[in-house]
Structure 1
Amino acid sequence: MSMLPDLEGLAIFAKVAELRSFSAASAELGLSKPTVSKTVGRLEARLGTRLFNRTSRRLALTDAGRMLLERASRMLSEAEAAESEARAQSAVPRGRVRLAVPMSFGLQEVAPALPDFFARYPDISVDLHLSDATVDLIGEGFDLALRIAALADSSLLARRLCAVPRVVVAAPSYLTAHGTPKHPRDLTAHACLGYAYLPAADVWRFTNRAGEEIAVRTSGPMRANNADALMPALLAGYGLAVQPTFLVRDALARGRLAAVLTEWSPPEIALHLVMPPGGPRPARVEALAEFLRVRFRRAG
């Protein structure tokens, strides 16, 4: 197998030749003079020829050095330009950001917010991935994610943005036909529409203001892995469901749904901004992260 080119040696050689001085090259490169000298010596040994004729007062290229210099200088220039371009890409908000968000929250809240983001950052594009499943940010190449959960400890960097209240709701037609539950244990006699990604989909947990806790095993005609998918059956009067308030706000305001068991609360969940560890991050990722932080940050 052939060896890789000695790119470091070629770059240092080009800098020494440009400045006609090992001392000047070491100062400009931030390296010690012995390091610069040893690196050039290593390159000469690799090539099997001298590149400089050295005297105490003068440094001159050999014929081999002159032949090598043009390409080595071009390589150094290209490398410096590549680094400069990469730094500019990192510093200026430009390029694509891969963002993963829960399906319903993405449709209701994130997608409507993106036009404001694009107006502010016209050179950034967003690859929006909608799924209630927990994606592997690192393994699937996502830059950041929004997650709604009681977040478990992990190696990811997470910042809590706001609480996401949930409420038990039902259509007035269902409550008229089957009665209104007054206590969580009454749910055992009701049709309950379940959300599949709960830790235990058929067990609903509640706490009241006195700190009393209760877990109720429920059953019903439907379970789904997305809260929006429960809405048609919910509005048609086929059962009760625990839904986030952002999803049912309009239906509650219009009287299409009614909140029940309002003295009891499901376990608190929150919206988190999650990112892989490490840094610094490209400016495009920081720009979207800050936009989401400001857009969805709430007190509490």
Structure 2
Amino acid sequence: MQNQLEMLRIFKAVAESSNFKEASIRLGISPQSVTRAIKELEERLGEPLFYRSTRNTTITEFGKQMALKSEEVLEQVDTLFQLNQHADTPQAIEGTVKITMPNTFGQQYLLPALTAFAKEYPNIQLDLRFSNLIDNVVADQMDIGVRIGFFSNNRNVARRVNEIKFHIVGAPALIAKTGAPQQVNDLCTMPYTGLIDQNTGRMWSWTFADEPDCFPSAPAFITDDIKAELAAVLAGIGYGQLPNFICEQYIKSGQLVTVLEDQSPAPWGVYVYRPQRGPVAERVRVLFDYLAKTLSEVNFS
């Protein structure tokens, strides 16, 4: 039993040819295959499609009606399978792409890039979700995710595109008051801030190059928002361990001063990832590559 769609393609070729042999040459198959397909199609329809003779093949009236209908069906099928083929122009790519990203980092670096992308690809609808929670892109039906940190989930296709460095910083007024810490243990006797991990509800530990991780036990300021922590550090409430993408400009302006620079921890990766499932839609592939390229070119320092 042959595929119905393939039988229609063979029928269409025969209808456009003078005989079965000519149709077989056009299709690149044997004349016997053409004959079998037409015979099976006629049996299914219960009507003859061609009058056959030794010299030529003449289509019946019923066959003519079938030829018109089958041409329309085949065109619709071909159009359906061409929807997500590589398009020649940005305007030809369409559909929705759902993206999840961290709050502050996403609004500061991804939002400007994504608005530019939306102008270039006007028929792609962007659905942006800002969250510091670690998302399950499959369960949450996300197409693309951006994450800062460490990535070991082999259920996703992930690309490390950049890195984030951390600084221990304090306001000049605070340093003038407490003196600059000379070693990690000095920080325990000075005011410092604590940032709550929204995934666990516990405070992030401070990590160092050569010293064990330190879990804040009595911070002078606690928050679950990194911009609020930055504001507290700028105000001189305490020292903070902050990522360079949020504090670098204040270091350059002199509003913050780095301390214990030799104890800066290993950088965290910036990852663009997507679910590892089946073929990738053109709109997702284009945006994934765009985000990876855009983030790889950012100099956070």
Normalised by the size of structure 2, how large is the TM-score? Answer: 0.78
Partner of 1:92: 89
Q: Aligned with 2:213: secondary structure?
A: strand
Deviation string 1:226-246 (CA, Å, 9 cap, x unpaired) is 422423333333333322111
Deviation of 1:28 after TM superposition, in Å, equals 4.0
Q: Aligned with 2:271: secondary structure?
A: strand
Q: Are the equivalent residues in 1 in contact too, given 2:97–2:143 (CA < 8 A)?
A: yes
Q: Are the equivalent residues in 2 in contact too, given 1:92–1:283 (CA < 8 A)?
A: no
Deviation string 1:107-126 (CA, Å, 9 cap, x unpaired) is 11122334544565555553
Partner of 2:193: 192
Counterpart AA for 2:291: L
Counterpart CA distance in 1 for 2:260 and 2:103 is 26
Change beyond 3 A, Cα 1:18–1:169: same
Counterpart CA distance in 2 for 1:185 and 1:50 is 93
Change beyond 3 A, Cα 1:31–1:264: farther
Change beyond 3 A, Cα 1:73–1:206: same
Partner of 2:76: 78
Change beyond 3 A, Cα 1:170–1:25: farther
Counterpart AA for 2:243: P
Q: Aligned with 2:273: secondary structure?
A: strand
Partner of 2:229: 230
Q: Are the equivalent residues in 2 in contact too, given 1:53–1:59 (CA < 8 A)?
A: yes
Change beyond 3 A, Cα 1:155–1:29: farther
Q: Are the equivalent residues in 1 in contact too, given 2:165–2:268 (CA < 8 A)?
A: yes
Counterpart CA distance in 2 for 1:197 and 1:30 is 62
Partner of 1:252: 251
Deviation of 1:270 after TM superposition, in Å, equals 1.5
Q: Are the equivalent residues in 2 in contact too, given 1:9–1:40 (CA < 8 A)?
A: yes
Counterpart CA distance in 2 for 1:256 and 1:299 is 23
Q: Residue 65 in 1 paired to residue 44 in 2?
A: no
Q: Aligned with 2:207: secondary structure?
A: strand
Counterpart CA distance in 1 for 2:268 and 2:199 is 11
Correspondence 1:1-300 to 2 at 5 A: 6-87=4-85, 90-93=87-90, 94-95=93-94, 96-118=96-118, 120-121=120-121, 124-189=124-189, 190-196=191-197, 201-207=203-209, 212-219=210-217, 220=219, 221-224=221-224, 226-277=225-276, 281-297=280-296
Q: Are the equivalent residues in 1 in contact too, given 2:144–2:273 (CA < 8 A)?
A: yes
Q: Are the equivalent residues in 1 in contact too, given 2:133–2:199 (CA < 8 A)?
A: no
Where structure 1 has 5 or more consecutive residues not aligned to the other structure, the ranges are: none
Q: Are the equivalent residues in 2 in contact too, given 1:147–1:273 (CA < 8 A)?
A: yes
Counterpart AA for 2:102: P
RMSD between aligned alpha carbons?
3.4
Change beyond 3 A, Cα 1:158–1:24: farther
Corresponding pairs, count: 290
Counterpart AA for 1:53: Y
Counterpart CA distance in 1 for 2:30 and 2:207 is 66
Change beyond 3 A, Cα 1:86–1:150: closer
Counterpart CA distance in 2 for 1:242 and 1:11 is 67
Deviation of 1:257 after TM superposition, in Å, equals 2.6
Counterpart AA for 2:193: C
Where structure 2 has 5 or more consecutive residues not aligned to the other structure, the ranges are: none
Q: Aligned with 2:72: secondary structure?
A: helix
Counterpart AA for 2:89: V
User: Higher relative contact order at CA 8 Å, sep ≥6: structure 1 or structure 2?
Assistant: 1
Change beyond 3 A, Cα 1:69–1:239: same
Counterpart AA for 1:191: Y
- Identify the range of structure 1 (73-82 vs 99-108) with the bigger mean alpha-carbon deviation: 73-82
Q: Aligned with 1:214: secondary structure?
A: coil
